[in-house]
Amino acid sequence: MATAINPLNIVAAAGLAVGAALGMAGIFVSQPNLQAVLWGIDAAGLVMATALLALKYFRAGHDVVAAGFLVFAIGEAALMSGTAAGPAGSVPSFAAGTALWATALLLVSFPKVLPTIARVLGVVSAILFGILAVRIFWGEQLLPTSAPLPFFAYPFLVMTLVSWIWNLLREPPA
């Protein structure tokens, strides 16, 4: 007999999946309006999902992981605030958001709560986005579509999100 998955896990997983898919799609779209719409929906999904995950882990007594998901939601909201300005106009909010992503990913990844692969991917993502944020704060004009960073950092973030989804969907019901 199959076990039921917690409905909140399904909702959070769906938000993470939407964020991962549309975030990556936005990188490859050249039309600014479509890119903004994709990234706006991506951000809304990730804010919703990580807010739910913050509550989930807080209730479970994993305060540092919960704080990490809360910081991720705040970082994603910062990123979303600049989305309509286009890639060049979004650089300040992009720097703030990626700095918060890096912080959040470390908070989520250091405690031994999530599976090792999720934690390793989270730390790699945190390092890449931390470097990116520092470079922007240092004065480089790096766009959300610049290469090598952030372009090659996004796949690590998406793999981190997928590992979170996998963890949510394989979790036995409470």
The per-residue pLDDT for range 61-72, each reduced to its tens digit, is 999 999 999 999
C-alpha to C-alpha distances, 49 to 6, 10, 12, 143, 165, nearest whole angstrom:
14, 10, 4, 25, 10
What phi, psi does 148 have (nearest 5°)?
A: -80, -30
pLDDT for 113-168, tens place per residue?
A: 999 999 999 999 999 999 999 999 999 999 999 999 999 999 999 999 999 999 99
Distance CA 39, CA 23 (A): 6
pLDDT band at residue 13 using 50, 70 and 90 as cut-offs: very high
The domain segmentation of the chain, as residue ranges, is 7-170
Distance CA 58, CA 67 (A): 8
Q: What is the pTM of this model?
A: 0.95
Cβ(81)–Cβ(40) below 8 Å: no
